[in-house]
Amino acid sequence: MLDPKSSPQGVVVLDVGALLERLRARGPRVHCITNSVAQNFTANALLAAGCVPSMTLSSDEIGDFVASSEALLVNLGTFDRERRKATERAVEAARRDAIPWVLDPVFVDRAAGRASFANLLLTRSPAVMRLNRAEFTALANAQPAECALASFADEHDVVVAVSGETDVVTEGTRVGKVANGHALMAKVTAMGCAASALVAACLAVEADAWRATVGALIIVGVAGELAGETAQGPGSFAVGFIDALHRLDAPTLLARARVT
Amino acid sequence: MLDPKSSPQGVVVLDVGALLERLRARGPRVHCITNSVAQNFTANALLAAGCVPSMTLSSDEIGDFVASSEALLVNLGTFDRERRKATERAVEAARRDAIPWVLDPVFVDRAAGRASFANLLLTRSPAVMRLNRAEFTALANAQPAECALASFADEHDVVVAVSGETDVVTEGTRVGKVANGHALMAKVTAMGCAASALVAACLAVEADAWRATVGALIIVGVAGELAGETAQGPGSFAVGFIDALHRLDAPTLLARARVT
Amino acid sequence: MLDPKSSPQGVVVLDVGALLERLRARGPRVHCITNSVAQNFTANALLAAGCVPSMTLSSDEIGDFVASSEALLVNLGTFDRERRKATERAVEAARRDAIPWVLDPVFVDRAAGRASFANLLLTRSPAVMRLNRAEFTALANAQPAECALASFADEHDVVVAVSGETDVVTEGTRVGKVANGHALMAKVTAMGCAASALVAACLAVEADAWRATVGALIIVGVAGELAGETAQGPGSFAVGFIDALHRLDAPTLLARARVT
C-alpha cells in the first residue's frame, strides 16, 4: 500500500472510510437494471451497504423509479427488446435529472448484439463502465493493457474499471489499481454485478467518479477478504460477503486497502 | 404478552402453535406472483414452513396453477402489461374457486401506475393486504394510524396488515399488534414478500383471515428473532431465518409470541 | 454399495472421480434455460463444480450462447410464448452443433400446456430427461416403475433419470440406482434444477450419457450428504451444498457412492 498522502490513490485510501460513512448516512436509492440471476444478491449487497435498491424492469414505470433514485446501474445481463426499451428510458431519465449511471456490459464477448448495444449506450454518458478483461477485449478490440484502458476512457469520457486479480480504474489520467479481493469472488455468481451496483451507490455520494469507483472496489475487495477468512467454500463465502459489507467500518478499510 | 385467554389476541397466541402444525400437516400449495428478486427466498421460506410453492407468471398457465393451489399471493414487484394480465387471470381463478389471496402492493409509493392497479385489485376481494407504512400512506392518502387502518379495512372489507417495528393487523374491529421480529429483517430483500407468502399459506389452513394473518406474522417474527440470536449480519440472518422457520415448533411460538 | 468392478454401475462408481476431475479441468460452459426462481442457485452450483454458467433467455441471442457452450439445460420452469421460442432456438442450435442437452420438464403435472411442449421437445433428441415421480407419471401416463422408465427411455431414445429417495437412471438396458442424498434436498427450491444442470455439465465431459447422468447424481447426492452433516435447516443446507460441491474430491466420491 502506498503512502496515503503522497498520491491521488493515497487520497482515495484516506477517503474510502468517509465514503462508506456517507453511504450509510445517506442511504441512496439505487435503481438496478440487471438480470434475474443477479437481482437477489445485488439487492442484498446494496442493503448491507446501507442503500435502498429497486429493480423493476418494466418500461412503463422505470422512468419513475430512476427519477426518484440517486444512481442507476445498467447491466446487460437481461437483454431482449423489452429490456432494451426499458434501458433506454432509464438512461434517458438519468440524463434528464443528472443522475450518475454505471454500465456493466456483461457477456459482450458472447453475443454480438450486446456489444453493439453497449457501444450505443457508451454515447449516452455513463459515468463509469465496469467489466472484466474478456468483455473489454470484445468491446474495445484491444487487450486490456493500461494504455488501452486509458485511451478508451479518454475517447468515451468514461471511467473504465476492469476487474481481475487486481482491478484497474482509470479516467485517462489518474490510474488506480486495487489489489484487494479473494479468489472465491470469481466463484459466486453476480459478484461482478454487485460490485457495479456498489460503484453506482458510491457515485451517489461522491461527485468524482474515479474516486467513487476506486473507493467502491476497495469496499468490495475488503469485504471479500473478510469473507474469505472464514468461508468453507463459495456458498458460505457469498453469505459472509454480505455480512462483511454490513459490518465494514472506516478503520478496517483504511488498514486493509491495497491501492497502487 | 397479554394473557392468552383474556382477549381475541390471546386466543391467537394460543392458536398459533396449532396453526403451524396444520401448515406442516397439510402442506398447502401456495401460488406466488412475485418479482424475480424475491422468488427464490420466498419459495425457500414456504418450503421451510412445510408448504409447496409455485411461481409461474405465464398468463397461459397461471389459471391452472392457481386452481390447483390452496392460496395465492399477488405481489406487485413485477409489473408490466404481461404480468398485469397474468395477475388478473390468477385473481379470477382464485375468486372462482374461493381460494383466499393476499395483496402485497410493493412500491406503490414509487410509481403511480402501481397504486391505481392496487386500487383495482382491492375491488377483487383479497382476504388480506400486507404492506409497509410508506405504501399504506401512498395507497390510502392517510398516515397509517390505527383508526385509518381500521377504516380502510372496513371500507374495502379486507384485513390490513402494516409491517413495522410492531406489525398492526386489523379487519376493522379486532386489532392485533405483533411485536416479534428483528432489526435485520429490514436488511434482507424479499423478507416482506416472504411474510406475505406465509400469510397466504396460513389462509389455506385458517378460515378466519385476521387470525391467519396475526398467526403468520408471529411465525415470521419469532423466526426472525431466533435467526438474530446467531447472525453475523444480514447474509447469515437470511440463512438462519430459513433454518429457524424449518425448526420452529408450537412451544417456542407460544413462549415467544408478543401480541397486544 | 456394489463391488466397483463387477457391473456397469460399479464402473460408474470407479469413474465418478475422474468425471469430477474432468469437470474441474475443462470447466465446460453450460447454458441454462431455467426459471428465475432457480437461476441463482443453479449458477452457483455450476460455478462450485468448476463450470461456467450462462442463463440468458432472449431469443435474439440464445443461439450464440448455446453455440459457444458445451452443454444445454432446458428447464420448463419459465414457460410462455417468448420462452418457448427461445427454447426452440436453443435446442436447434444444440442439435446443429451436436451439443448434448438435458430436458427437465418441471411441473408438467400442474399445467397441460407444459406436458404437450415437453412431448414435443422429446422428439428433438435430448440426451437425458431428469424429472420427479409425479412429473414422470403425468408425462408417460404410467407409474414410474423400473420397466415403465426403461420402456419410455427406449421409445424416446433418451436417458431417463427419475429423482426420489433413490434416483433411478436408465437408457433402456442399463439401470443405475443412486442412493446418495439427504432429506433436506427436497426442502431447497431449485435443487432439482441444479441437479439437472450438473447432468448437463457431465454430458460435456463424458460421451456416454448414462454414465454422465449416474455420475452427476452421485456428485449431487454426496454433496447433499456432506451438507447435511452440519446443516441446521434448509437455509444452511443450501449454503453447505454449494460449499461441498466446491470441495468435493475423487476419494470422497469413491468412498461414499452408493449405487446399485
DSSP per residue over B190-229, as a string?
Answer: THHHHHHHHHHHHHTT-S-HHHHHHHHHHHHHHHHHHHHT
The pLDDT tens digits of the residues spanning C54-112 come to 999 988 899 999 999 999 999 987 677 888 999 999 999 999 999 999 999 998 888 88
What pLDDT is recorded for position A112? 81
Over residues C20-24, mean pLDDT: 97
Global ipTM: 0.94
Q: Is C73 on the interface with A (CB under 8 A)?
A: no
Cell triple for A8: 491521488
Residue A245 lies in a domain: yes
What pLDDT is recorded for position A246? 98
Q: Which of B80, B232, B234 sits opposite A44 (nearest CB)?
A: B234
Pair type for strands B29-33 and B175-178: unpaired
Residue B202 has pLDDT above 80, yes or no: yes
Sorting pLDDT into bands at 50, 70 and 90, what band is B1?
A: very low
Percent with pLDDT over 90 in chain A: 84
Residue C3 lies in a domain: no
- Residue A121 neighbours by CB under 8 Å, 6+ apart: A74, A87, A91, A103, A105
Pick the residue with more confidence: C173 or A112? C173
Closest chain B CA to residue A244: B233
Residue B119 has pLDDT above 50, yes or no: yes
**C-contacting residues in A 1-60 (Cβ below 8 Å):** 35-38, 40-41
Percent with pLDDT over 70 in chain B: 97
Sorting pLDDT into bands at 50, 70 and 90, what band is B185?
A: very high
- Residue B20's closest CA among B260, B258, B248? B248
**Domain CATH number, residue B76:** 3.40.1190.20
Q: Which of A61, A68, A242 sits opposite B233 (nearest CB)?
A: A242
Q: Centre a 10 Å sphere on the Cβ of residue B173 and count the other Cβ atoms it contains.
A: 10
CB pairs under 8 A between A and C: 89
Sorting pLDDT into bands at 50, 70 and 90, what band is A1?
A: very low
CB pairs under 8 A between A and B: 89
For residue C170, report the phi and psi dihedrals to the nearest 5 degrees: -145, 150
Residue C248 lies in a domain: yes
B188: which chain A residues are within 8 Å (Cβ-Cβ)? 44, 47
The pLDDT tens digits of the residues spanning C189-213 come to 999 999 999 999 999 999 999 999 9
Helix (H) or strand (E) holding B169: strand B167-170
CB pairs under 8 A between B and C: 89
Pair type for strands B175-178 and B167-170: antiparallel
Residue B89 lies in a domain: yes
What pLDDT is recorded for position A259? 93
B190: which chain A residues are within 8 Å (Cβ-Cβ)? 40, 43
Smallest CA–CA distance, residue C258 to chain B, in Å, is: 27
Q: In this complex, do C40 and A190 lie within 8 Å of one another by their Cβ atoms?
A: yes
Q: Centre a 10 Å sphere on the Cβ of residue C89 and count the other Cβ atoms it contains.
A: 17
Residue C1 lies in a domain: no
Proportion of chain C in helix, strand, coil states, percent, rounded to 5: 55, 15, 30
C-alpha distances (whole Å) from A62 to each of A55, A129, B103 are 9, 21, 22
Contact C16, C257 (CB under 8 A): yes
Q: How many domains does chain A have?
A: 1
Closest chain A CA to residue C54: A107
Over residues A227-236, mean pLDDT: 98
C79: which chain B residues are within 8 Å (Cβ-Cβ)? 56, 58, 60-61
Over residues A209-223, mean pLDDT: 97
Q: What is the DSSP letter of A1?
A: -
Residue B192 lies in a domain: yes
C239: which chain A residues are within 8 Å (Cβ-Cβ)? 235-236, 238-239
Over residues B202-215, mean pLDDT: 97
Residue B2 lies in a domain: no
Q: Which one of C82, C135, C189 would you mutate to disrupt binding with B, by most B Cβ within 10 Å of its Cβ?
A: C189
Residue C137 has pLDDT above 70, yes or no: yes
What pLDDT is recorded for position C77? 77
Q: Which of B53, B54, B243 sits opposite C234 (nearest CB)?
A: B243
Over residues A48-53, mean pLDDT: 98
Q: Is C125 on the interface with A (CB under 8 A)?
A: no
What pLDDT is recorded for position C1? 45
Q: Which of C83, C114, C234 sits opposite B246 (nearest CB)?
A: C234
Residue C4 has pLDDT above 70, yes or no: no
Residue A182 lies in a domain: yes
- Residue B156's closest CA among B185, B116, B128, B180? B128
Over residues C170-192, mean pLDDT: 96
Write the burial class of residue C82 (CB in 10 Å: 0-12 exposed, 13-18 middle, 19+ buried): middle
Sorting pLDDT into bands at 50, 70 and 90, what band is A60?
A: confident
Q: Which one of B81, B242, B247, B252 would you mutate to disrupt binding with C, by most C Cβ within 10 Å of its Cβ?
A: B242
> How far is the C-alpha of C151 from the C-alpha of C144, rounded, in Å?
11
Q: In this complex, do A61 and B235 lie within 8 Å of one another by their Cβ atoms?
A: no
- Residue A214 neighbours by CB under 8 Å, 6+ apart: A9, A12, A16, A169, A176, A178, A259
What pLDDT is recorded for position B199? 98
Over residues A167-186, mean pLDDT: 96
Over residues A27-55, mean pLDDT: 97
Contact C22, C205 (CB under 8 A): yes
Task: State which residues form the domain around B56.
Answer: 8-256
Contact A227, A244 (CB under 8 A): yes
Smallest CA–CA distance, residue C61 to chain A, in Å, is: 6
Q: Is C141 on the interface with B (CB under 8 A)?
A: no
Sorting pLDDT into bands at 50, 70 and 90, what band is B168?
A: very high
Q: Is A189 on the interface with B (CB under 8 A)?
A: no
- Residue B70's closest CA among B86, B54, B47? B54
B84: which chain A residues are within 8 Å (Cβ-Cβ)? none
Over residues B4-11, mean pLDDT: 70
Q: In this complex, do C246 and A187 lie within 8 Å of one another by their Cβ atoms?
A: yes
Those chains having 3 or more beta-carbon pairs within 8 angstroms of chain C are A, B
Contact C222, C139 (CB under 8 A): no
